Amino acid sequence: MRQFIRHPSNIPIEVRISPGSSYKTSPAKDVSHGGIAFVSDVAVEPGTTVELRIPCLKPMIELSAARVEWCRKQANRFIIGVRFTDLMETYRIRMVEQICHIESYRKYIQERHGRHLTVEDAAKEWINRYASSFPTFQETDKKGEIENNEGKS
C-alpha cells in the first residue's frame, strides 16, 4: 500500500547525479510527501544519493540527500523515483503544497482564461501573486521543530 499520495506535476527540477557534476534540468512526473519522480536521460542505480533543486519555488528548495528508490525505462528515457531522506516533514509538506498550488493555478488560467502557461511561467506568476500569503516556516531549534510564523511581526 502506498504510504504517500502522489500529486502529478511537470514542474522543472534540477538534478545532480554525482558530486562535482553539473545539475541537469528534468521535468518532475509526480511529487509526494515522501519523494519525487522525474524524467532522466540516464539510468540511475537504486540506492544512489542524488541532489535536487527546485529553482522556480521561492525560496528555492535544495535537497542534498535524496535516495534513488527505483528507476524504470520508459521509451528512450528513464523515470526515476527518489525518497527524501534529510528534510523536516513540515518542509516536505510545504514543498508539495506549493507545487500543487502552482499546477492548479496553471490549469485554472488555461481553463478560465484560455491562456497557456508553461510551468515556469505559472510558478513565476503564482509566486508573484500568492507566495506572500503562503505560510512561512522557520527552524526554531536544532531538533528541527517548526514554528508557523504567519501573522507574527
pLDDT on residue 100: 74
pLDDT at 131: 78
N residues, the chain: 153
Domain regions of the chain by residue span: 7-84, 89-138
The b-or-e profile of 35-60 (16+ CB within 10 A means b, else e) is bbbbbbeeebeeeeebbbbbbbbbee
The pLDDT assigned to 125 comes to 92
- Cell numbers for 110: 488555461
**Strand, coil or helix: what is 117?**
coil
- Say how far apart CA 80 and CA 50 lie, in whole Å: 11
Using an 8 Å Cβ cutoff, are 85 and 123 in contact? Answer: no
- pTM of the predicted structure, to 2 decimals: 0.61
The pLDDT, as a whole number, for residue 142 is 31
pLDDT at 109: 92
> Do 26 and 13 form a contact (C-beta atoms < 8 A)?
yes
pLDDT for res 5: 42
The span from the CA of 131 to the CA of 134, in Å, is 5
Return the amino acid letter for 26: S
Question: What kind and span of H or E run contains 58?
Answer: none
Q: Which CATH number is associated with domain 7-84?
A: 2.40.10.220
pLDDT the model gives residue 136: 54
CA distance 20 to 32: 27
From first to last of its 153 residues, the chain has per-residue pLDDT tens of 444 444 446 778 899 988 889 999 988 887 766 788 899 999 999 999 999 888 776 677 787 778 999 999 999 999 999 988 765 544 665 776 787 788 888 889 999 999 999 888 998 898 898 877 765 544 323 333 333 333 333
Closest to 16 in 3D by CA, of 61, 76, 65 = 65
For residue 152, give every residue at least 6 positions away whose Cβ sits within 8 Å of its Cβ, in sequence order, or none.
Answer: none
